[in-house]
Structure 1
Amino acid sequence: MARVPVLRLLGVAVAVMVLYSLLLLMRPDISASDIAAATVPAEQPPPPPVKLPPLPPIRDQDKELQQGNAQIESQELLPIASPGSERVKATFVTLARNKELYALIESMRSVEDRFNHKYNYDWVFLNDEPFTQEFKDLTSAIVSGKTKYGLIPKEHWSYPEWIDQDKAAETRKKMKADGIIYGDLESYRHMCRFESGFFWRNPLLDEYDWYWRVEPETKVHCDLDYDVFKWMKDNNKVYGFTISIHEFDKTIPTLWKHTKDFIRAHPEHLAHNNLMDFISNDGGDTYNLCHFWSNFEVANLNFWRSQAYREYFEYLDRAGGFFYERWGDAPVHSIAAALFLPRDKIHYFEDVGYNHGVYTQCPLNNEFRYKHKCHCNPEKDFTFDGYSCTGRYYDVMKMPKPKEAKE
Structure 2
Amino acid sequence: MRAWTSKAARPKRARKRGLFVCLALAIWGLFHVSKLRSSRDEPFSKMGINSRRDHTFSAGCLDPYAYQEQPGYQRQNATFVMLTRNQELSGVLSSMYSVERHFNQWFQYPYVFLNDEEFSEEFIAQVRAATHADVEFGVLSELEWEFPTEVREQLVFKHSIEDQGDRGIMYGNMESYHKMCRFYSGAFFKHPLVSRHEWYWRIEPDVEFFCDVTYDPFWEMQRRGKKYGFTVLIKELYWTVPNLFRYTRSFIRQNKVKVGDLWDLFVDNYNVAAGDELLNKLANHEWEVERELMDRVEIEHLLETSQYTSAEDVDEELVRTLVSRAKRKPPVIEDKFDNEEYNLCHFWSNFEIARVDLFSTGLYASYFEFLEQSGGFWAERWGDAPVHSLGLGMMLDARDVHYFRDIGYQHSTLAHCPANKRGGQLPYVENPDYATIFGKKRSAYARLGRLGRARSSEQTYGTGCRCVCPRKRDIEDTSATCFGGWYELTRDDRVARTPVDAPALLHELRGDFYST
- Counterpart code for 1:193: R
1:284-299 counterparts in 2 under 5 A?
285-299=340-354
Partner residue in 1 for 2:225: 236
1:194 equivalenced with 2:183 (yes/no): yes
Partner residue in 2 for 1:324: 379
In structure 2, relative to structure 1, the CA distance for the partners of 1:295 and 1:117 (3 Å cut) is same
Partner residue in 1 for 2:138: 150
Query: Could you tell me how far apart the structure 2 residues matched to 1:366 and 1:320 are?
Result: 47
- Counterpart code for 2:177: Y
Partner residue in 2 for 1:21: none
Among 89, 100, 106, which residue is 1:101 paired with? Answer: 89
Deviations 1:133-176 (A, max 9, x none): 11111111112310000000011111214526321211222221
- Contact between 2:186 and 2:360, CA under 8 Å: does it hold in 1? no
TM-score when normalising by structure 2: 0.59
Query: Could you tell me how far apart the structure 1 residues matched to 2:390 and 2:140 are?
Result: 25
Structure number with higher helix proportion: 2
Query: Could you tell me how far apart the structure 2 residues matched to 1:345 and 1:382 are?
Result: 22
Partner residue in 2 for 1:68: none
RMSD: 2.0
Instruction: Give 3-state SS (helix, strand or coil) of 1:100's partner.
Output: helix
Query: Could you tell me how far apart the structure 1 residues matched to 2:370 and 2:235 are?
Result: 23
Deviations 1:261-320 (A, max 9, x none): 10011124x34x421111001156110111000100100001012210110000000100
Partner residue in 1 for 2:417: 362
1:109-148 counterparts in 2 under 5 A?
109-148=97-136
Query: Deviation at 1:377?
Result: 3.4
TM-score when normalising by structure 1: 0.74
Query: Could you tell me how far apart the structure 2 residues matched to 1:297 and 1:247 are?
Result: 17
Query: Could you tell me how far apart the structure 2 residues matched to 1:314 and 1:295 are?
Result: 22
- Contact between 1:218 and 1:355, CA under 8 Å: does it hold in 2? yes
- Counterpart code for 1:290: C
Partner residue in 2 for 1:276: 263
Among 137, 152, 162, which residue is 1:173 paired with? Answer: 162
1:253 equivalenced with 2:346 (yes/no): no
Query: Deviation at 1:365?
Result: 5.0
Query: Could you tell me how far apart the structure 2 residues matched to 1:393 and 1:83 are?
Result: 32
Query: Could you tell me how far apart the structure 2 residues matched to 1:327 and 1:142 are?
Result: 34
Query: Could you tell me how far apart the structure 1 residues matched to 2:207 and 2:165 are?
Result: 26
Among 465, 473, 498, which residue is 1:372 paired with? Answer: 465
- Counterpart code for 1:223: D
Percent of paired sites with the same residue: 39
In structure 2, relative to structure 1, the CA distance for the partners of 1:329 and 1:260 (3 Å cut) is same
1:203 equivalenced with 2:173 (yes/no): no
1:395 equivalenced with 2:488 (yes/no): yes
In structure 2, relative to structure 1, the CA distance for the partners of 1:386 and 1:307 (3 Å cut) is closer
- Contact between 1:244 and 1:388, CA under 8 Å: does it hold in 2? no
- Contact between 1:246 and 1:387, CA under 8 Å: does it hold in 2? no
Query: Deviation at 1:387?
Result: 6.6
Query: Could you tell me how far apart the structure 1 residues matched to 2:196 and 2:77 are?
Result: 7
- Contact between 1:276 and 1:338, CA under 8 Å: does it hold in 2? yes
Query: Could you tell me how far apart the structure 1 residues matched to 2:357 and 2:205 are?
Result: 25
Instruction: Give 3-state SS (helix, strand or coil) of 1:115's partner.
Output: helix
Give the gaps of 5 or more residues in structure 2.
1-67, 271-338, 425-455, 459-463, 494-516
Deviations 1:75-112 (A, max 9, x none): xxxxxx87985220000000001000111111111011
- Contact between 2:347 and 2:386, CA under 8 Å: does it hold in 1? yes
Larger Rg belongs to: 1
1:346 equivalenced with 2:409 (yes/no): no
Query: Deviation at 1:122?
Result: 0.5
Q: Name the count of aligned residue pairs.
A: 318
Partner residue in 2 for 1:92: 80
In structure 2, relative to structure 1, the CA distance for the partners of 1:147 and 1:110 (3 Å cut) is same
1:307 equivalenced with 2:362 (yes/no): yes
- Contact between 1:96 and 1:127, CA under 8 Å: does it hold in 2? yes
- Counterpart code for 2:413: V
In structure 2, relative to structure 1, the CA distance for the partners of 1:86 and 1:291 (3 Å cut) is same
- Contact between 2:420 and 2:466, CA under 8 Å: does it hold in 1? no
